[in-house]
Structure formats: C-alpha cells, structure tokens
C-alpha cells in the first residue's frame, strides 16, 4: 500500500527511516534509544522497517584521536572500520529491549549499478524482513572510493526505498521540517506539504556541514525526496526527536506527495 497522505502512515507496510551522523553521535548519542523505541513501535504493529544510518566515521573518530571529520579517504576508511562495529553494537544493545535482531547491510554505489549485486542486495533485505530482522543499511565507507560514493546517505536511503518498494521514506535531521529559507532567518516559514512535481520556486535551500561529523542539509533532503517521490514512494522530512510522532502519522515535518504516475526504477 502506497502512503498517499500522512494519515496513512500507520498502515504503511514497509518504511525506510534514515538518520544522520550528527543525530546519533557525540553529544546526541542518547538519541539512539528513543529512535529505537519508535522503530520498535512500528515493528510491533507488523510494519517492515529498514533503517539507513550514517555515523560509522563519526563514532570511530574519537578512537583515532580525531577532533574533526577526516578529509583524506584512507583515514575516513579507517574511522569507518572502527565505527561501524560500534554503531551496530549500539543499535543492537538498544534493540535487545524489544527482542529485535538487527542485520547489517553495507552498500556502495557500484553495488546498485551492477544488476547482479543489486539483485543480491534486494533479495537479502527481503529475506531479512521476512524473518522479522531489522536491516540497518550504511554506505560501505571502508571500501568506497571518492568516485563511487553515494555522496550522502539521504540519496542512499532514497535508492534503498526504491529498491525494496517502500511505501514511505522518513528522512531525519536536526530540523523539524523544511522551511522557505534557513529556519534561523527572519520570515522563514515551515513547508508542511510538497505536491508531486512542485519545483519549490522561490525557496532558498543550501547544503551545510553539521557539527564537523557529517555533510548534509536541506538541499540533500530535497534531492533525495524527489528521487523517491518520483518513483512512487511518499517522503516525510522531520527531526530525529520527532520520529515517534512521524511514524504514528501525526502532523509533523514536511510531506512529499508521491507521484501518481511513478517513473521507472533508475538506479545509479
């Protein structure tokens, strides 16, 4: 069932939730538990949930004595190697409260570009969900190169949503919704609904670096939302702290209406 309006969220059969590095690392590490609470609530009503989570590099940084996100690929890979293990452990430690088991899925852009790899990834996630395992997807930063990186996990989440035919994609960030201009500026107004194909003319969005640990911003959310919505998946953009309300279908965030005539699947 495709979620055509926010009221239909609770009946969505398959949901992809994406969370960024800054929302679950450093001083925000405590947000993992309430995020898991919300995912478990949806899982308990029979919804198939996939989590796309950034954070491996950010979580690995302190163990490499790094104060800021590294800029060279080799150090990023090293930090990801350390951090990915800790990231999954933290999720599983929280999921244990609900007797839910996580399954790790690491992807590179080339995996979705290759029909065989793409099919394998799809089958693996389908099987995990059929077994009531909660797949946790991340970019495979340990082996990804600058040329093949997804660029941000918002786009990865959109592609995963398309790959598995999700009814809804929830993109979480540090801001409660999209605004007509950066929310700290005078005159910024919340955008509650984006109609299918709306070009958002006159809006001012930009990409930002967040807390020195991740890249992202409104522009990446909008780009990812368009990818998913054009393929027929509804999208909700909201704050990590509002994820429980979002998954209950409450009127939070910015809703991107899915296309009534979805485009054919186009992966990188």
Whole-prediction pTM value?
Answer: 0.90
pLDDT for residue 87 is more than 90: yes
State residue 180's pLDDT score. Answer: 85
Mean pLDDT of the chain: 87
Q: Does 153 belong to an annotated binding site?
A: yes
Q: What integer is the mean pLDDT of 195-205?
A: 70
Tens of pLDDT, residue by residue over 3-58, are 667 778 988 999 999 999 889 998 999 999 999 999 999 999 999 999 999 999 99
Q: Does 174 belong to an annotated binding site?
A: yes
Q: Residue 177 burial (CB < 10 Å; 0-12/13-18/19+)? A: buried
What percent of the chain has a predicted confidence (pLDDT) above 90? Answer: 61
| Cα angle: 230, vertex 260, 45; to 5 degrees | 85
- Which secondary structure element, helix H or strand E, spans residue 17, and what is its range? strand 14-19
Q: Distance from first CA to last CA of the chain, Å, rounded?
A: 26
Q: Does 11 belong to an annotated binding site?
A: no
Q: Does 54 belong to an annotated binding site?
A: yes
Higher pLDDT, 206 or 167: 167
CA 149 from centre of chain: 16
Q: 6-256 domain in CATH 3.40.1160.10?
A: yes
Domain ranges of the chain: 6-256
State residue 52's pLDDT score. Answer: 97
Ranges of beta strands (E only) in 180-241 are 190-191, 193-194, 207-210, 214-217, 234-239
Q: Does 152 belong to an annotated binding site?
A: no
Does residue 254 sit in helix, strand or coil? strand
- Among left, alpha and beta (phi > 0; psi -120 to 50; other), residue 15 is beta
State residue 6's pLDDT score. Answer: 79
Nearest CA to 16 out of 194, 181, 236 is that of: 236
Tens of pLDDT, residue by residue over 123-166, are 999 999 999 999 999 988 777 766 556 667 899 999 999 999 99
Q: Does 141 belong to an annotated binding site?
A: yes
Residue with tokens 């104060």: 67
State residue 185's pLDDT score. Answer: 85
């Amino acid at each position: 069932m495709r979620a055509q309006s926010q009221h239909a969220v609770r009946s969505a059969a398959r949901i992809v939730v994406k969370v960024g590095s800054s929302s679950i690392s450093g001083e925000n590490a405590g947000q993992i538990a309430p995020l898991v609470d919300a995912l478990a609530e949806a899982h308990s009503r029979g919804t198939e949930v996939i989590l796309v989570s950034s954070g491996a590099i950010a979580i690995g940084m302190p163990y490499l004595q790094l104060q800021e996100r590294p800029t060279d690929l080799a150090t990023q890979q090293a930090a990801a190697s350390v951090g990915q293990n800790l990231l999954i452990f933290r999720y599983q430690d929280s999921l244990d409260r609900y007797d839910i088991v996580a399954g790790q899925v690491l992807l590179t852009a080339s995996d979705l570009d290759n029909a065989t790899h793409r099919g394998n990834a799809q089958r693996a996630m389908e099987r995990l969900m059929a077994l009531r395992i909660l797949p946790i997807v991340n970019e495979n930063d340990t082996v990804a190169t600058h040329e093949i990186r997804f660029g941000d996990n918002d786009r990865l989440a959109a592609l995963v949503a398309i790959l598995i035919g999700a009814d809804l994609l929830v993109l979480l960030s540090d801001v409660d919704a999209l605004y007509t201009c950066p929310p700290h500026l005078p005159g910024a107004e919340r955008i509650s609904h984006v109609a299918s194909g709306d070009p958002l003319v006159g809006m001012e969005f930009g990409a930002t670096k967040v807390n020195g640990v991740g890249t992202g911003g409104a522009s990446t959310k909008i780009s990812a939302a368009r990818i998913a919505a054009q393929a027929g998946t509804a999208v909700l953009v909201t704050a990590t702290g509002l994820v429980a309300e979002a998954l209950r279908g409450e009127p939070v965030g910015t809703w991107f209406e899915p296309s009534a005539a979805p485009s054919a699947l186009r992966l990188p």
